[in-house]
Amino acid sequence: MAQQAQVHNQQSTTSDKDQRSHTWKLWVLATVPFIMVLGNSMLIPVLPKMMKVMHLSLFQVGLIITIFSIPAGIIIPFAGALSDRIGRRVIMTPALLTYGIAGLGAGISAWLIPNPYYWIMGFRLLQGIGAGGTYQLAMAVAGDMFQSEKRAGALGTLEAANGLGKVISPIAGSALALIIWFAPFFVYGLLSFPIAAGIWFLIKEPKNQKAQGGLGEYWKGLKTTFATKTASILTTFLGGSVVLFILFGVLSYLADILEKDFGYGEFTRGLIIAIPVLASAVTSYVSGTVLQKRLAQWSRPIVVIGMALIALAMAIEPFFATTNPFLAIAVLVFQGIGTGSVLPSINTLVTSATTSKERGVVTSLYGSVRFFGVAMGPPIFAMAMAHRYLTFWGAAVLAAITAVLSWFFINEKQMLPKSIRGGGSGGGGQPHHKEKTESPKKPARSLRPSRSPLR
Tell which wins on pLDDT, 326 or 446: 326
Question: Could you tell me the pTM of the whole model?
Answer: 0.69
When pLDDT is averaged across residues 148-159 and rounded to a whole number, the result is: 73
User: Does 291 score more than 60 pLDDT?
Assistant: no
Residue 17: burial class (beta carbons within 10 Å; 0-12, 13-18, 19+): exposed
Instruction: Give the per-residue SS3 of 340-352.
Output: HHHHHHHHHHHHC
The rounded distance, in Å, linking the Cα atoms of 410 and 80 is 23
Highest mean pLDDT out of 12-21, 77-86, 271-280: 271-280
Q: Are 371 and 443 in contact (CB under 8 A)?
A: no
Q: Rounded distance, CA 297 to CA 313, Å?
A: 26
- Please indicate whether residue 99 or residue 452 has the higher confidence score (pLDDT): 99
At residue 182, the pLDDT reads 94
Mean pLDDT in residue range 258-287: 83
Task: Please give the Cα distance from 174 to 77 (Å, whole number).
Answer: 33
Asked if 235 contacts 411 with a C-beta cutoff of 8 angstroms, the reply is no
CA distance 182 to 173: 9
Of the candidate ranges 206-215, 306-315, 423-432, the one whose mean pLDDT is the lowest: 423-432
Beta carbons within 8 Å of 300's beta carbon, 6+ residues apart: 345, 406, 407, 410, 411, 412, 426, 427
What mean pLDDT comes out for the span 81-93?
85
Q: State the chain's mean pLDDT as an integer.
A: 79
Single out the residue of 384, 293, 377 nearest to residue 335, CA to CA.
377
The pLDDT assigned to 76 comes to 81
Tell me what the mean pLDDT of segment 179-208 comes to.
Answer: 88
pLDDT of residue 236 exceeding 60: yes
pLDDT at 163 over 80: no
| pLDDT tens profile 300-319 | 899 999 999 999 999 999 88
The confidence band for 13, taking pLDDT boundaries of 50, 70 and 90, is very low
Of the chain, the percentage scoring pLDDT greater than 90 comes to 28
Sequence spans of domains, the chain: 18-201+224-424
Least confident of 15-29, 333-347, 430-444: 430-444
For the domain 18-201+224-424, what is the CATH superfamily, name and number?
MFS general substrate transporter like domains (1.20.1250.20)
DSSP line for 300-334:
HHHHHHHHHHHHHHHHHGGGTTTT-HHHHHHHHHH
C-beta separation of 128 from 79 below 8 A: no
Q: What is the pLDDT of residues 115-136, one digit of tens each?
A: 999 999 999 999 999 988 887 7
Check pLDDT > 90 for residue 109.
yes
Are the beta carbons of 411 and 102 closer than 8 angstroms?
no
pLDDT surpasses 50 at 436: no
pLDDT at 270 over 60: yes
**Choice among 194-208, 290-304, 402-416 with the minimum mean pLDDT:** 290-304
